[in-house]
Amino acid sequence: MADLYLPLLLSASALIISIVSFLFFKFYLKRRTSQERILAEFSEEVNNIIKSIAETTDRDISLIEDREKKLKSLLEEVDKRLKLYIREMEQHTKAEKTHAALSALETKPKPAATYAALGKKRYKGNIFARPAEAEPVPEQEPAPPPAPSVGEQIRSLMRSGLTDAAIASRLGISIAEVEFATALLGRRDGK
């Protein structure tokens, strides 16, 4: 009789194992494919993406801030140099005006009138005056050729191979003016 119940017992145990397995897999599949689980995975994925974007943005912002600081320092340096250059140009302009005024004073012909010449001019309108003698016209010296401009002087000294510092000391101007003039001359010459 025990032999008779053995197949029945094995069938019942197989049925119970099948039902338990079916319920376990059903519960497992339901849990794995549930909306909450899928939403949790998507939420975690989105949070990771947002975190990655935030880290990248923070790194980019710090790089931009560093470059902005460098740009500000460069702009301050450029402003300082421009102010220095403008001040040097104003001093140079003043010096050129003063030099031009002094050279104009030096080139004015000095009056060659003597007392005798002034007396002859005085008596010209007088009918009782002595007859006018032929007065020799004083010869004026030919005007000296105009001095070459600063740009021409810089160009000739540049061509002779002098450095900017040597040109500046020879002409009595700043090195910045010489550098600026050489840059302008180079651009004008098409270099």
Kind plus residue range of the DSSP H or E element containing 166: helix 164-171
Each domain of the chain, given as residue ranges in start order, spans 9-84
Which pLDDT does position 131 carry in this prediction?
A: 52
CB atoms inside a 10 Å sphere around CB 66: 10
Which pLDDT does position 138 carry in this prediction?
A: 57
2 confidence band (pLDDT: 50, 70, 90): low
Which pLDDT does position 107 carry in this prediction?
A: 59
Which pLDDT does position 141 carry in this prediction?
A: 67
User: Tens digits of per-residue pLDDT, 165-184?
Assistant: 898 888 888 888 888 888 88
Q: Which of 33-37, 45-49, 100-104, 130-134 has the highest mean predicted lDDT (pLDDT)?
A: 45-49
33 confidence band (pLDDT: 50, 70, 90): confident
SS3 178: helix
57 confidence band (pLDDT: 50, 70, 90): very high
Segment 119-129 mean pLDDT: 53
Phi, psi of 114 (to 5 degrees): -105, 175
Query: What does the mean pLDDT of the chain come to?
Result: 80
SS3 24: helix
Which pLDDT does position 159 carry in this prediction?
A: 86
Segment 128-155 mean pLDDT: 67
Question: Which residues contact residue 168 at a Cβ distance below 8 angstroms, ignoring those fewer than 6 apart?
Answer: 174, 175, 177, 178
DSSP string over 122-135: HTTT-TTSPPPP-P
70 confidence band (pLDDT: 50, 70, 90): very high
